[in-house]
Amino acid sequence: MIFPTSTEQISEIHKYCFKNEIGIIPYGQGSGFEGGVINTNVDGRPTVTLDMMKNMTQVLGVHGAPDRYAKVQAGVQRELLNEYIRDTGLWFPIDPGANATIGGMTATSASGTNAVKYGTMKENVINLRAVLPDGTIFDSAGEDRSFIKSSAGYNLTELFTGSEGTLGTISEITVRLHPIESHLIAASCKFPSILQATTAAEQILSLGVPVARLEFLDEIALEAVTDETPDCKAALYFELSSSSEAFLKEQVESINWLCEENDSFGFKSSTSLEERTKIWNARHRAYWSMINKFQYGKTRQGYSTDVCVPISKVGECIIKSKELVKNSKYLNKCGGIIGHIGDGNFHVFFGVDTSDEAEFAELKFLADEIAKLALENNGTITGEHGIGLGKKHLLEKQVGTASYGIMKLIKATIDPKNIMNPGKVF
């Protein structure tokens, strides 16, 4: 493992590796689920890992209103950035759950709970500096450029945002910052069925209620984090933010009414930090709580599927995903669902004994079936985790042979020796 200190040093490492055909894996927090930073030892060639978290951790500049952007090195973690800018009245809202690095979030085009209002990394990366396989340093939108919009040439920023380290090493990123709203309200409610919960969510979004977060938990996830009664089969969690307290209260009333129309119960909301934190605790604890719950006398590790479908098809896809899990032989008690339902993204969390070949094979089968279900419903096999190793066999099925061929052509042109994160995506 190598710990570079600058873009120029990364360039020198790349030049040496390119000349000697040594693989390079850019590495951040390593919190991804699809094996995106695992050394696959392709063709038996040596491979080095560039760890960006030790030395590439500087916030290089912050520009407040009206420009609202920050320039950071790739190893800066999102929580560190928000701590650094907390006195500016701005924040960086992309929250993938883990305290990931901005470089890693850019490489995977991460998103999370706030995407329904603020978008994903693709909407929040303005510019990036990266090093190509041969050591060439480039700025995707031009050196020191930062703007709200541009139509200048090919969009290299978005090409590298989501490239998963297969085209080069991202060393610096310019990201959008957003105003911290003066008023926030969090709310939650429960439903007697999944379909009623997802229908309520669809109606809320159709009405145009400006939710910042809209999250879904099924009864398995809820059982892991709360003491719910058997009549609770699903729950929705909301957060709204605005400069107007009166506007927020009006919107929460609309949410409550729509939820009650779908037989919700236990609706609660609050503007206080303490109560908002309490409401969201269940959602934030759900992953680890489910993994602990799923042990059943074995040592199981966590894995999360990741699909995204049109809002109108989320309910159907969640119900069918639950049926797949329920009918499985080994994992029928080890799958709970959490969804960023506001943007159609949901995850089935599993606890799996990776030493048990039959159990692990069933996990891969279920993950593939859920991904195929998303494709059948006009969706994507990954909303935010990326392709990595786990989903590369499904990429062509989603994008089509022509688009897949173009992607491979881009990879071969930029990285002709296949040294960048070899074995991933393709």
Q: What is the DSSP string of 50-99?
A: EE-TTT---EEEEE-TTT-EEEEETT-BHHHHHHHTGGGTEE-----SS-
Helix locations, 164-295, DSSP H: 194-207, 219-225, 245-261, 273-293
40's tokens: 């696959």
Q: Does the pLDDT of residue 152 top 80, yes or no?
A: yes
pTM: 0.91
Mean pLDDT, rounded, of the chain: 93
**Residue range 155-167, pLDDT digits in tens:** 999 999 999 999 9
Q: Does the pLDDT of residue 309 top 70, yes or no?
A: yes
- Candidates 3.10.560.10, 3.30.465.10, 3.40.50.2300, 1.20.1440.80; correct CATH number of 7-179? 3.30.465.10
Tokens 């990326």 belong to: 386
Q: Does the pLDDT of residue 192 top 90, yes or no?
A: yes
Question: What pLDDT does residue 227 have?
Answer: 67
Nearest to 331 by CA among 305, 307, 312: 305
Q: Which helix (H) or strand (E) holds 315?
A: helix 314-326
Tokens 């680890």 belong to: 288
User: What Cα–Cα distance (Å) separates residue 217 from each residue in 7, 154, 231, 318, 393?
Assistant: 42, 40, 14, 11, 29
Nearest to 208 by CA among 258, 262, 269: 258
Band of residue 98 on the pLDDT scale cut at 50, 70, 90:
confident
Query: What length is written for the chain?
Result: 426
Question: What pLDDT does residue 20 have?
Answer: 96
User: In whole angstroms, what is the distance from residue 269 CA to residue 306 CA?
Assistant: 29
Question: What pLDDT does residue 372 have?
Answer: 97
Tell whether domain 294-386 is in CATH 3.30.70.2740.
yes
Just give the CATH number of 181-289: 3.30.70.2190
Q: Rounded to a whole number, what is the distance in angstroms from the first to the last CA of the chain?
A: 24
Q: Does the pLDDT of residue 145 top 80, yes or no?
A: yes
**Residue range 32-67, pLDDT digits in tens:** 888 888 888 877 889 999 999 999 999 999 999 999
So where are the chain's domains? Answer: 7-179, 181-289, 294-386
53's tokens: 């978290």
Domains 7-179 and 181-289 share a fold: no
Are 101 and 29 contacting, i.e. CB atoms less than 8 angstroms apart? Answer: yes
Question: What pLDDT does residue 319 have?
Answer: 96
Average pLDDT of the segment spanning 254-267? 95
Question: What pLDDT does residue 34 have?
Answer: 84
Average pLDDT of the segment spanning 133-143? 98
Q: Does the pLDDT of residue 363 top 80, yes or no?
A: yes
Query: Percentage of the chain with pLDDT > 90?
Result: 78
User: What Cα–Cα distance (Å) separates residue 80 from each residue in 98, 126, 284?
Assistant: 12, 19, 19
Band of residue 228 on the pLDDT scale cut at 50, 70, 90:
low
Average pLDDT of the segment spanning 336-364? 93
User: In whole angstroms, what is the distance from residue 39 CA to residue 132 CA?
Assistant: 19
- The alpha carbon of 352 is separated from its chain's Cα centroid by a whole number of angstroms, namely 21
